[in-house]
Structure 1
């Protein structure tokens, strides 16, 4: 059971890394980070 769980987690991690390497997904990630930073910066403390 542990072996199957480990293989499943490795497969999911590989899929995430592969998707993150795609240029269109990198652009989406940068936009999302910029929005989060802008929102965090506009909050009063």
Structure 2
């Protein structure tokens, strides 16, 4: 039973990583991430 759970967890993690890589490869998402990081760094400089 524990082995089955481990296999299922591994498969879920692999799928999450696959989806994340696919989404991060899209130019629109890359732009959103850059904009968000810029806003974050600007707000940290003000404090």
Q: TM-score, normalised by structure 1?
A: 0.92
Q: Which runs of 4+ in 1 moved over 6 A?
A: none
Q: Whose radius of gyration is greater, 1 or 2?
A: 2
Which runs of 5 or more residues in structure 1 are unaligned?
none
Task: Note the C-alpha offset of 1:10.
Answer: 0.6
The within-5 A match list for 1:1-45 is 1-43=5-47
Query: Aligned-residue CA RMSD in angstroms?
Result: 0.4
Q: Provide the C-alpha distance between the structure 2 equivalents of 1:32 and 1:39, rounded to a whole number of angstroms.
A: 11
Structure 2: runs of 5+ lacking an equivalent: none
Count of residues paired in the alignment: 43
TM-score by length of 2: 0.88
